[in-house]
Protein backbone atom coordinates (compact mmCIF):
# COMPACT_ATOMS: atom_id res chain seq x y z
CA UNK A 1 0.00 0.00 0.00
CA UNK A 2 1.41 3.42 -0.79
CA UNK A 3 2.04 5.93 1.96
CA UNK A 4 -0.99 8.10 1.23
CA UNK A 5 -3.39 5.15 1.27
CA UNK A 6 -1.90 3.95 4.52
CA UNK A 7 -2.31 7.40 6.09
CA UNK A 8 -5.86 7.77 4.81
CA UNK A 9 -6.90 4.34 6.07
CA UNK A 10 -5.50 5.08 9.53
CA UNK A 11 -7.11 8.51 9.60
CA UNK A 12 -10.54 7.08 8.81
CA UNK A 13 -10.18 4.28 11.33
CA UNK A 14 -9.17 6.72 14.08
CA UNK A 15 -11.38 9.69 13.39
CA UNK A 16 -14.10 8.37 11.11
CA UNK A 17 -13.64 11.01 8.40
CA UNK A 18 -11.01 12.17 5.92
CA UNK A 19 -8.92 15.31 5.66
CA UNK A 20 -6.52 17.03 3.29
CA UNK A 21 -3.02 15.87 2.47
CA UNK A 22 -0.01 18.08 3.13
CA UNK A 23 3.64 17.32 2.64
CA UNK A 24 7.06 18.79 3.11
CA UNK A 25 10.62 17.77 2.49
CA UNK A 26 13.94 17.03 4.09
CA UNK A 27 16.93 18.87 2.66
CA UNK A 28 20.45 18.60 1.40
CA UNK A 29 22.99 21.39 1.48
CA UNK A 30 25.61 21.66 -1.25
CA UNK A 31 27.85 23.97 0.77
CA UNK A 32 27.62 26.61 3.53
CA UNK A 33 27.55 24.61 6.75
CA UNK A 34 27.13 26.23 10.18
CA UNK A 35 26.99 29.59 8.46
CA UNK A 36 23.26 30.17 8.86
CA UNK A 37 23.42 31.32 12.49
CA UNK A 38 26.41 33.49 11.57
CA UNK A 39 24.65 35.62 8.95
CA UNK A 40 26.43 33.78 6.13
CA UNK A 41 25.28 32.00 2.99
CA UNK A 42 23.85 28.51 2.64
CA UNK A 43 23.08 26.49 -0.49
CA UNK A 44 20.34 23.97 0.28
CA UNK A 45 17.60 22.24 -1.69
CA UNK A 46 14.55 20.20 -0.71
CA UNK A 47 14.65 16.47 -1.49
CA UNK A 48 12.15 13.79 -2.49
CA UNK A 49 12.05 12.42 1.03
CA UNK A 50 9.94 14.04 3.71
CA UNK A 51 6.77 13.93 5.76
CA UNK A 52 3.21 13.44 4.55
CA UNK A 53 0.21 14.17 6.75
CA UNK A 54 -3.57 14.02 6.49
CA UNK A 55 -5.12 16.78 8.59
CA UNK A 56 -8.67 17.99 9.25
CA UNK A 57 -10.08 20.66 11.54
CA UNK A 58 -12.13 18.87 14.21
CA UNK A 59 -14.24 21.66 15.72
CA UNK A 60 -12.87 21.19 19.26
CA UNK A 61 -10.05 22.90 21.15
CA UNK A 62 -7.89 19.74 21.15
CA UNK A 63 -5.29 18.45 18.72
CA UNK A 64 -5.24 14.70 18.14
CA UNK A 65 -2.26 13.33 16.26
CA UNK A 66 -1.02 9.87 15.35
CA UNK A 67 2.46 9.02 14.12
CA UNK A 68 2.52 5.92 11.92
CA UNK A 69 6.28 5.54 12.29
CA UNK A 70 6.21 5.59 16.10
CA UNK A 71 2.78 3.91 16.30
CA UNK A 72 1.79 6.42 18.99
CA UNK A 73 -1.03 8.89 19.43
CA UNK A 74 -1.30 12.06 21.49
CA UNK A 75 -3.98 14.52 22.39
CA UNK A 76 -3.16 17.98 23.65
CA UNK A 77 -4.68 21.40 24.22
CA UNK A 78 -3.26 24.57 22.73
CA UNK A 79 -2.16 26.43 25.84
CA UNK A 80 1.48 26.62 26.90
CA UNK A 81 0.99 24.20 29.82
CA UNK A 82 -0.43 21.50 27.50
CA UNK A 83 2.97 20.57 25.96
CA UNK A 84 3.06 16.82 25.27
CA UNK A 85 5.93 14.60 26.45
CA UNK A 86 6.65 12.68 23.21
CA UNK A 87 9.39 14.41 21.29
CA UNK A 88 7.67 14.05 17.90
CA UNK A 89 4.50 15.62 19.31
CA UNK A 90 6.41 18.56 20.78
CA UNK A 91 7.26 19.64 17.22
CA UNK A 92 3.56 19.80 16.34
CA UNK A 93 2.72 21.52 19.61
CA UNK A 94 5.55 24.01 19.09
CA UNK A 95 4.34 24.85 15.59
CA UNK A 96 0.83 25.50 16.96
CA UNK A 97 2.15 27.72 19.75
CA UNK A 98 4.51 29.64 17.47
CA UNK A 99 1.67 30.22 15.01
CA UNK A 100 -0.51 31.58 17.82
CA UNK A 101 2.36 33.86 18.95
CA UNK A 102 2.35 35.34 15.44
CA UNK A 103 -1.39 35.98 15.71
CA UNK A 104 -2.34 33.06 13.51
CA UNK A 105 -5.54 31.25 14.36
CA UNK A 106 -5.28 27.61 15.46
CA UNK A 107 -8.02 25.47 16.94
CA UNK A 108 -8.39 21.72 17.30
CA UNK A 109 -7.47 19.39 14.44
CA UNK A 110 -6.84 15.71 13.79
CA UNK A 111 -3.72 14.46 12.06
CA UNK A 112 -2.08 11.24 10.93
CA UNK A 113 1.40 11.43 9.46
CA UNK A 114 4.32 9.33 8.28
CA UNK A 115 7.72 10.01 6.83
CA UNK A 116 10.30 8.52 4.53
CA UNK A 117 13.16 10.84 5.42
CA UNK A 118 15.71 8.83 7.42
CA UNK A 119 15.90 9.97 11.05
CA UNK A 120 19.21 11.21 12.42
CA UNK A 121 20.85 11.15 8.99
CA UNK A 122 21.34 14.93 8.84
CA UNK A 123 18.53 15.35 6.28
CA UNK A 124 16.40 17.37 8.65
CA UNK A 125 13.40 15.20 9.24
CA UNK A 126 12.42 17.64 12.00
CA UNK A 127 12.23 20.62 9.61
CA UNK A 128 10.10 18.48 7.29
CA UNK A 129 7.70 17.78 10.16
CA UNK A 130 7.60 21.43 11.28
CA UNK A 131 7.08 22.75 7.76
CA UNK A 132 4.33 20.26 6.98
CA UNK A 133 2.35 21.38 10.01
CA UNK A 134 3.19 25.09 9.71
CA UNK A 135 2.04 25.03 6.09
CA UNK A 136 -1.05 22.94 6.82
CA UNK A 137 -2.19 25.10 9.75
CA UNK A 138 -1.66 28.23 7.68
CA UNK A 139 -3.80 26.78 4.89
CA UNK A 140 -6.54 25.18 6.98
CA UNK A 141 -7.07 28.22 9.23
CA UNK A 142 -6.58 30.71 6.36
CA UNK A 143 -3.94 32.63 8.30
CA UNK A 144 -2.11 33.97 5.25
CA UNK A 145 1.26 34.11 7.01
CA UNK A 146 4.02 34.45 4.41
CA UNK A 147 6.51 31.68 3.67
CA UNK A 148 9.33 33.30 5.66
CA UNK A 149 7.08 33.38 8.69
CA UNK A 150 6.30 29.68 8.22
CA UNK A 151 10.03 28.90 8.16
CA UNK A 152 10.52 31.04 11.28
CA UNK A 153 7.72 29.16 13.04
CA UNK A 154 9.68 25.93 12.49
CA UNK A 155 12.95 27.48 13.63
CA UNK A 156 11.37 28.94 16.78
CA UNK A 157 9.86 25.54 17.51
CA UNK A 158 13.40 24.12 17.61
CA UNK A 159 14.57 26.97 19.86
CA UNK A 160 11.66 27.05 22.29
CA UNK A 161 10.32 23.49 22.39
CA UNK A 162 13.26 21.27 21.40
CA UNK A 163 16.28 23.21 22.69
CA UNK A 164 18.31 23.28 19.46
CA UNK A 165 19.45 26.84 18.71
CA UNK A 166 19.50 26.18 14.97
CA UNK A 167 19.74 28.64 12.10
CA UNK A 168 17.07 29.06 9.43
CA UNK A 169 18.51 26.86 6.66
CA UNK A 170 16.55 23.64 7.17
CA UNK A 171 13.14 25.20 7.59
CA UNK A 172 13.81 27.64 4.77
CA UNK A 173 14.73 24.83 2.37
CA UNK A 174 11.80 22.77 3.50
CA UNK A 175 9.33 25.61 2.87
CA UNK A 176 10.91 27.25 -0.21
CA UNK A 177 12.27 24.11 -1.94
CA UNK A 178 11.66 23.92 -5.70
CA UNK A 179 12.01 20.88 -7.93
CA UNK A 180 15.35 20.84 -9.76
CA UNK A 181 16.78 23.93 -8.02
CA UNK A 182 19.15 24.61 -5.19
CA UNK A 183 18.69 27.88 -3.32
CA UNK A 184 21.47 30.25 -2.30
CA UNK A 185 20.26 32.11 0.75
CA UNK A 186 21.91 35.03 2.46
CA UNK A 187 20.85 34.40 6.06
CA UNK A 188 21.58 37.98 7.06
CA UNK A 189 19.37 39.74 4.53
CA UNK A 190 17.21 36.69 3.70
CA UNK A 191 17.75 37.40 0.00
CA UNK A 192 17.73 34.21 -2.00
CA UNK A 193 18.21 32.96 -5.50
CA UNK A 194 17.21 29.67 -7.14
CA UNK A 195 19.98 27.90 -9.03
CA UNK A 196 18.71 25.21 -11.43
CA UNK A 197 20.95 22.27 -10.61
CA UNK A 198 21.41 19.59 -13.20
CA UNK A 199 25.14 18.94 -13.38
CA UNK A 200 25.47 17.06 -16.63
CA UNK A 201 27.79 14.08 -16.26
CA UNK A 202 27.64 14.10 -12.45
CA UNK A 203 25.47 12.68 -9.70
CA UNK A 204 24.89 13.88 -6.17
CA UNK A 205 24.77 11.00 -3.75
CA UNK A 206 24.51 10.76 0.03
CA UNK A 207 26.39 8.08 1.91
CA UNK A 208 24.89 7.58 5.35
CA UNK A 209 27.31 6.46 8.05
CA UNK A 210 24.28 5.52 10.20
CA UNK A 211 26.04 7.16 13.16
CA UNK A 212 23.67 9.06 15.42
CA UNK A 213 25.35 11.27 17.99
CA UNK A 214 23.54 11.46 21.32
CA UNK A 215 24.92 14.83 22.35
CA UNK A 216 24.54 16.48 18.98
CA UNK A 217 22.17 19.21 20.14
CA UNK A 218 24.30 20.42 23.08
CA UNK A 219 27.47 20.26 20.96
CA UNK A 220 25.64 22.23 18.26
CA UNK A 221 24.60 24.92 20.76
CA UNK A 222 28.21 25.12 22.02
CA UNK A 223 29.47 25.76 18.48
CA UNK A 224 27.00 28.58 18.14
CA UNK A 225 28.18 30.15 21.41
CA UNK A 226 31.82 29.96 20.27
CA UNK A 227 30.90 31.89 17.14
CA UNK A 228 29.02 34.52 19.11
CA UNK A 229 31.97 35.02 21.47
CA UNK A 230 34.38 35.43 18.56
CA UNK A 231 32.05 37.89 16.80
CA UNK A 232 31.64 39.93 20.01
CA UNK A 233 35.43 40.17 20.44
CA UNK A 234 35.91 41.31 16.83
CA UNK A 235 33.08 43.83 17.15
CA UNK A 236 35.06 45.71 19.82
CA UNK A 237 37.57 46.68 17.10
CA UNK A 238 35.11 46.73 14.20
CA UNK A 239 31.67 47.90 15.34
CA UNK A 240 30.15 47.05 11.94
CA UNK A 241 30.45 43.34 12.75
CA UNK A 242 27.02 42.08 13.77
CA UNK A 243 27.65 38.49 12.74
CA UNK A 244 30.80 36.46 12.29
CA UNK A 245 30.14 36.47 8.54
CA UNK A 246 30.79 40.25 8.55
CA UNK A 247 34.37 39.73 9.78
CA UNK A 248 37.49 39.62 7.66
CA UNK A 249 40.02 36.88 8.36
CA UNK A 250 42.58 39.50 9.46
CA UNK A 251 40.18 40.88 12.05
CA UNK A 252 40.02 37.44 13.62
CA UNK A 253 43.81 37.40 13.93
CA UNK A 254 43.63 40.68 15.87
CA UNK A 255 41.68 38.99 18.68
CA UNK A 256 43.66 35.74 18.78
CA UNK A 257 44.89 36.43 22.30
CA UNK A 258 41.50 37.51 23.60
CA UNK A 259 39.50 34.41 22.76
CA UNK A 260 40.10 30.73 23.47
CA UNK A 261 41.99 28.76 20.85
CA UNK A 262 38.88 26.65 20.40
CA UNK A 263 36.70 29.69 19.64
CA UNK A 264 39.42 30.91 17.27
CA UNK A 265 39.37 27.68 15.26
CA UNK A 266 35.57 27.65 15.09
CA UNK A 267 35.56 31.23 13.79
CA UNK A 268 38.34 30.50 11.32
CA UNK A 269 36.21 27.75 9.81
CA UNK A 270 33.10 29.95 9.53
CA UNK A 271 34.89 32.87 7.89
CA UNK A 272 36.40 30.48 5.32
CA UNK A 273 33.06 28.78 4.69
CA UNK A 274 31.23 32.05 4.00
CA UNK A 275 33.68 32.72 1.18
CA UNK A 276 33.50 29.15 -0.14
CA UNK A 277 29.76 29.45 -0.78
CA UNK A 278 30.39 32.49 -2.96
CA UNK A 279 33.17 30.69 -4.81
CA UNK A 280 30.87 27.75 -5.41
CA UNK A 281 28.11 30.05 -6.76
CA UNK A 282 30.56 31.51 -9.27
CA UNK A 283 31.84 28.07 -10.21
CA UNK A 284 28.28 26.82 -10.75
CA UNK A 285 27.54 29.74 -13.08
CA UNK A 286 30.56 28.62 -15.16
CA UNK A 287 29.66 24.91 -14.94
CA UNK A 288 33.00 24.37 -13.20
CA UNK A 289 32.25 21.33 -11.07
CA UNK A 290 35.90 20.61 -10.33
CA UNK A 291 36.02 23.83 -8.28
CA UNK A 292 32.69 23.03 -6.63
CA UNK A 293 34.09 19.65 -5.61
CA UNK A 294 37.38 21.05 -4.34
CA UNK A 295 35.47 23.49 -2.14
CA UNK A 296 33.45 20.61 -0.74
CA UNK A 297 36.67 18.85 0.30
CA UNK A 298 37.91 22.06 1.90
CA UNK A 299 34.66 22.34 3.82
CA UNK A 300 35.07 18.80 5.05
CA UNK A 301 38.57 19.56 6.27
CA UNK A 302 37.29 22.61 8.15
CA UNK A 303 34.30 20.81 9.66
CA UNK A 304 36.55 17.97 10.77
CA UNK A 305 39.67 19.74 12.01
CA UNK A 306 38.53 23.27 12.95
CA UNK A 307 34.85 23.04 13.73
CA UNK A 308 35.16 19.47 15.01
CA UNK A 309 31.74 18.21 14.03
CA UNK A 310 32.86 15.18 12.02
CA UNK A 311 33.55 11.69 13.36
CA UNK A 312 35.76 8.75 12.47
CA UNK A 313 33.17 7.17 10.16
CA UNK A 314 32.58 10.38 8.20
CA UNK A 315 36.29 11.12 7.88
CA UNK A 316 36.76 7.58 6.62
CA UNK A 317 34.05 8.06 3.94
CA UNK A 318 35.57 11.38 2.95
CA UNK A 319 39.05 9.89 2.47
CA UNK A 320 37.61 6.99 0.56
CA UNK A 321 35.84 9.41 -1.78
CA UNK A 322 39.18 11.10 -2.53
CA UNK A 323 40.77 7.74 -3.28
CA UNK A 324 37.94 6.90 -5.66
CA UNK A 325 38.45 10.21 -7.53
CA UNK A 326 35.07 11.54 -6.41
CA UNK A 327 34.92 15.22 -7.45
CA UNK A 328 33.66 16.55 -4.10
CA UNK A 329 32.77 15.06 -0.74
CA UNK A 330 32.03 16.35 2.73
CA UNK A 331 30.04 15.80 5.89
CA UNK A 332 26.63 17.40 5.48
CA UNK A 333 24.30 19.17 7.93
CA UNK A 334 24.94 19.69 11.62
CA UNK A 335 27.44 16.81 11.76
CA UNK A 336 28.41 14.43 14.57
CA UNK A 337 27.15 11.59 12.36
CA UNK A 338 24.75 11.30 9.46
CA UNK A 339 25.76 11.52 5.80
CA UNK A 340 28.48 12.68 3.49
CA UNK A 341 27.31 14.45 0.33
CA UNK A 342 29.28 13.46 -2.76
CA UNK A 343 29.53 14.94 -6.23
CA UNK A 344 30.66 12.10 -8.43
CA UNK A 345 31.16 11.65 -12.17
CA UNK A 346 28.60 9.29 -13.73
CA UNK A 347 31.26 6.84 -14.87
CA UNK A 348 32.82 6.59 -11.40
CA UNK A 349 29.55 6.25 -9.51
CA UNK A 350 29.20 2.43 -9.43
CA UNK A 351 32.82 1.82 -8.46
CA UNK A 352 32.65 4.45 -5.68
CA UNK A 353 29.46 3.06 -4.16
CA UNK A 354 30.75 -0.51 -4.29
CA UNK A 355 34.05 0.51 -2.70
CA UNK A 356 32.32 2.63 -0.03
CA UNK A 357 30.07 -0.29 0.95
CA UNK A 358 32.86 -2.88 1.08
CA UNK A 359 35.55 -0.81 2.78
CA UNK A 360 33.18 0.78 5.29
CA UNK A 361 31.74 -2.62 6.24
CA UNK A 362 35.25 -4.08 6.66
CA UNK A 363 36.16 -1.24 9.00
CA UNK A 364 32.92 -0.59 10.93
CA UNK A 365 31.02 -3.87 10.67
CA UNK A 366 28.03 -2.61 8.67
CA UNK A 367 27.41 -1.09 5.26
CA UNK A 368 26.56 2.59 4.91
CA UNK A 369 23.20 3.45 3.33
CA UNK A 370 23.16 5.21 -0.02
CA UNK A 371 20.58 7.76 -1.18
CA UNK A 372 20.55 9.36 -4.62
CA UNK A 373 19.59 13.01 -4.33
CA UNK A 374 16.51 14.16 -6.21
CA UNK A 375 15.92 17.88 -5.71
CA UNK A 376 12.21 18.38 -5.18
CA UNK A 377 9.44 20.69 -4.02
CA UNK A 378 9.07 21.86 -0.42
CA UNK A 379 5.90 22.40 1.63
CA UNK A 380 2.71 21.91 -0.35
CA UNK A 381 -0.86 20.64 -0.48
CA UNK A 382 -0.91 17.20 -2.12
CA UNK A 383 -3.71 17.21 -4.63
CA UNK A 384 -3.61 13.86 -6.41
Residues with active-site annotation: 170
- The residue within the footprint of ligand GLA, chosen from 121, 166, 173, 233 (CB under 6 A), is 166
How many residues at the interface with ligand GLA, by CB under 6 A?
A: 11
Closer CB to ligand GLA, 36 or 98, in the complex: 36
Give the strand pairing for 63-67 and 109-115.
parallel
Closer CB to ligand GLA, 230 or 324, in the complex: 230
CB-based contact 352:324 (threshold 8 Å): yes
Taking CB under 6 A as the binding criterion, the range among 161-169, 177-185, 239-247, 278-286 that sits at the site for ligand GLA is 161-169
Give how far the C-alpha of residue 199 lies from the chain's centroid of Cα atoms, to the nearest Å. 22
Decide: is 138 part of the binding site for ligand GLA (CB under 6 A).
Answer: no
Separation in Å, CA 11 to CA 18, 109, 234:
6, 12, 55
Closer CB to ligand GLA, 169 or 204, in the complex: 169
Tell me how crowded residue 330 is: count the other CB atoms within 10 A of its CB: 30
- The residue within the footprint of ligand GLA, chosen from 84, 104, 118, 334 (CB under 6 A), is 334
Shortest distance, position 309 Cβ to ligand GLA, whole Å: 8
Residues 24-43 that bind ligand GLA (CB under 6 A): 33-34, 36-37
Decide: is 208 part of the binding site for ligand GLA (CB under 6 A).
Answer: no
Distance (Å, rounded) from C-alpha 369 to C-alpha 361? 11
- The residue within the footprint of ligand GLA, chosen from 84, 104, 167, 293 (CB under 6 A), is 167
Decide: is 246 part of the binding site for ligand GLA (CB under 6 A).
Answer: no
Closer CB to ligand GLA, 109 or 133, in the complex: 133
Decide: is 223 part of the binding site for ligand GLA (CB under 6 A).
Answer: no
Closer CB to ligand GLA, 33 or 377, in the complex: 33
Tell me how crowded residue 329 is: count the other CB atoms within 10 A of its CB: 27
- The residue within the footprint of ligand GLA, chosen from 110, 130, 170, 208 (CB under 6 A), is 170
DSSP-based three-state secondary structure for 160: helix
Closer CB to ligand GLA, 33 or 110, in the complex: 33
Shortest distance, position 275 Cβ to ligand GLA, whole Å: 16
CB-based contact 64:58 (threshold 8 Å): yes
CA-based nearest residue to 209, from 29, 49, 363: 363
Is residue 298 packed enough to be buried (19+ CB in 10 Å), middle (13-18) or exposed (0-12)? middle
CB-based contact 172:64 (threshold 8 Å): no
- The residue within the footprint of ligand GLA, chosen from 121, 123, 140, 169 (CB under 6 A), is 169
Is residue 43 packed enough to be buried (19+ CB in 10 Å), middle (13-18) or exposed (0-12)? buried
Decide: is 124 part of the binding site for ligand GLA (CB under 6 A).
Answer: yes
Shortest distance, position 163 Cβ to ligand GLA, whole Å: 12
Decide: is 268 part of the binding site for ligand GLA (CB under 6 A).
Answer: no
Give the helix ranges, DSSP H, for the chain.
3-15, 87-101, 125-140, 147-157, 169-176, 216-237, 249-254, 261-286, 289-301, 312-323, 346-364
- The residue within the footprint of ligand GLA, chosen from 26, 177, 333, 337 (CB under 6 A), is 333
Could you give the strand order of the β-sheet that contains 192-196, starting from the edge strand earlier in sequence?
Answer: 41-42, 181-186, 192-196
Shortest distance, position 17 Cβ to ligand GLA, whole Å: 35
Decide: is 44 part of the binding site for ligand GLA (CB under 6 A).
Answer: no
Closer CB to ligand GLA, 41 or 76, in the complex: 41
Taking CB under 6 A as the binding criterion, the range among 8-16, 142-150, 162-170, 201-209 that sits at the site for ligand GLA is 162-170
Closer CB to ligand GLA, 166 or 210, in the complex: 166
Decide: is 315 part of the binding site for ligand GLA (CB under 6 A).
Answer: no
CA-based nearest residue to 111, from 65, 63, 50: 65
Instruction: Give the chain's radius of gyration (CA, Å).
Output: 21
Cα distance from N-terminal residue to C-terminal residue, the chain: 16
Taking CB under 6 A as the binding criterion, the range among 84-92, 133-141, 163-171, 374-382 that sits at the site for ligand GLA is 163-171
Could you give the strand order of the β-sheet that contains 202-208, starting from the edge strand earlier in sequence?
Answer: 328-331, 339-345, 202-208, 369-372
Positions touching ligand GLA (CB under 6 A) are 33-34, 36-37, 124, 166-167, 169-170, 333-334
Amino acid sequence: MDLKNKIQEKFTSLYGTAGEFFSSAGRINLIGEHTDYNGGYVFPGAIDKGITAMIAVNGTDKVRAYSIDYDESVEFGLNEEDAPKQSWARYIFGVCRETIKREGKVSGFDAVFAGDVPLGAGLSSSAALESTFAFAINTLFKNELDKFTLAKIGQSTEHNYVGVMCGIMDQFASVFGKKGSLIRLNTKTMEYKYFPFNPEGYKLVLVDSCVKHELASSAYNERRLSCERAAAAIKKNHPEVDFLSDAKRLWLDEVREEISSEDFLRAEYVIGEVQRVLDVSDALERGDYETVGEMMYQTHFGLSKLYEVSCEELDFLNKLARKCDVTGSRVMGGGFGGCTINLVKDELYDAFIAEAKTKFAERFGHEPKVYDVVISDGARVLVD
